[in-house]
Amino acid sequence: MYFPYLRGKQNELLAIRELAAEGIIGESVRPIIEPVKVNLSSGMPRLMEALSGKNIVPLVILNPKVGEIAEDQHGVSTVSDFFFDSKFNYEPTLLLDSVEGFEHQVSQHQAVLEKTGRFAVVAPGGPGVETLQTARKILDNQNLVPSTLVVAAQSYSRVKRAWDTSELVTLVDPFKPEDRNADYVNNGEEEFSDEYFYFSDDGWNGVSDHQTIGAGWTVGGFTPRVVAIHWTYKDPQVDRIMIRHFTSGGVESLQGDVASKFLTAAQHLVRFLDAHRIPDTLGSRQIRRHVGNETFPGLGPVKKFSIENHIELIARVAES
């Protein structure tokens, strides 16, 4: 099983929705969605309907830690309120970042957790065994039995001892962010991760990641001097996922003419895909279309193409 971790930004939601609509992903992909926009009605219903049509059950985080909802002191129950009376097929999920506030959050969202019958916990910060044990006791005291734990941890056996549940999912974050797009210019081919091929052998029920975005949270909004397209693909020689960064130029680049810069980076990518016979994905087909038409979709969609490519790629690996 593959659990891609996505924030509720427009293009991240669109990526999942398009992959589902095209029938590229199915039940073996369980998106983790951390809503970030207070106005959930703008994109969430269409996404949930698209996923439901393919029997995909996402994990929806009730207590997001970033974005508008997290910053809105009066919106602490925004996600719970939105989903409580809905007919969406989803698994409510709590973020576990520390035990100090976890007990309060369990109580705050208990009605939703009890109503659905299944719920998940996501612990992204690499919590220790004591933290996991304490969190589990908090849930046990409320007669709540979690169905899934998604955790950033190296040792399956230690997590299993602390948290005996039906599904244990390993959360990895292989993406190495740079301060500026220009810093990717000299980055060649890099190993991304081989975890996608071996998580089952190590005892995990699934694998989760932050695709080609990384776990860090940024709002964005500035015009880059360099356009960078991050692209993952399978190493043809061994079982591992690789990544390359296709850029429009160097650090001396000036701001402006983002459309031309995108086409330069995208042309580099297409030539690489052709030269190495990398199998096409929904994301690469969209990149090819813009290169062929010499059009610029905007920086948000460019990120979406990268996300779509990665999710399709890992879904194939996880199903094999």
| Structural domains of the chain sorted by starting position, each given as residue range(s) with its CATH number in brackets | 1-171 (3.20.20.70), 177-191+216-320 (no CATH)
* Whether residue 255 has pLDDT greater than 70: no
The mean pLDDT value for 108-135 works out to 89
Residues 166 and 52: their CA atoms lie apart, in Å, by 23
Residues 207 and 197: their CA atoms lie apart, in Å, by 10
| Residue 54 per-residue DSSP state | T
pLDDT of residue 87: 86
pLDDT of residue 74: 53
pTM beyond cutoff 0.85: yes
Share of the chain above pLDDT 70, in %: 95
The mean pLDDT value for 62-67 works out to 86
Contact 174, 220 (CB under 8 A): no
pLDDT tens readout for residues 11-37: 999 999 999 999 999 999 999 999 988
pLDDT of residue 250: 65
pLDDT level of residue 292 (50, 70, 90 thresholds) = very high
* Whether residue 184 has pLDDT greater than 80: yes
